[in-house]
Every structure is written in structure tokens, then in C-alpha cells.
Amino acid sequence: MKVTLPLHEMTVAEKIGIMEDIWADLAQAQEGYTPPDWHRRVLSERRRLAESGQVGYTDWETAKRQIEERIS
């Protein structure tokens, strides 16, 4: 099924809201999907960098708030 959204008419907040809805749905539907091997490699490298202290990270709620502050 192809879905066409009026992206050029939507606000950034509306677009983020749709992405959040999609991610929430994907999180519930784990059957039938196997991530490609490169996903595991990227995640392993990011975990290694975080555990070594070479990079930091922000939890999603904080990151979302920071994005919303930047775009408003």
C-alpha cells in the first residue's frame, strides 16, 4: 500500500508526531522483520563508543524536547 502525505503542507511538529506513531507501531510488530547485519554492526560500534566514554547520548524524551525547542 502506498500512502501519500501532504508533507509540504505539514508542520515539523506534525511530521514528528507521525514518525512517533509509526515507531510506536513498529515497536509492537516485531514478527516478520529481521534487521540487516549492518544494523547490528552499527549498534555494536555505537555501544562500544558509548561504553568507552568516547561519545555520549541523550534519552529520547530529552532529545525530543531539545528538537522541539530548536524548531519552535
Per-residue confidence (pLDDT) for residue 56, from 0 to 100: 87
Does some domain include residue 2? no
Per-residue confidence (pLDDT) for residue 72, from 0 to 100: 87
Does some domain include residue 1? no
Has this prediction a pTM greater than 0.95? no
Does some domain include residue 56? yes
Per-residue confidence (pLDDT) for residue 26, from 0 to 100: 87
Q: pLDDT tens digits for the chain (72 residues)?
A: 999 999 999 999 999 999 999 999 988 877 878 889 999 999 999 999 999 999 988 999 999 999 999 998
How many structural domains are present in the chain?
1
Could you tell me the residue range of the domain that residue 32 belongs to? 7-71
Task: Report d(CA 25, CA 36) in Å as an integer.
Answer: 20
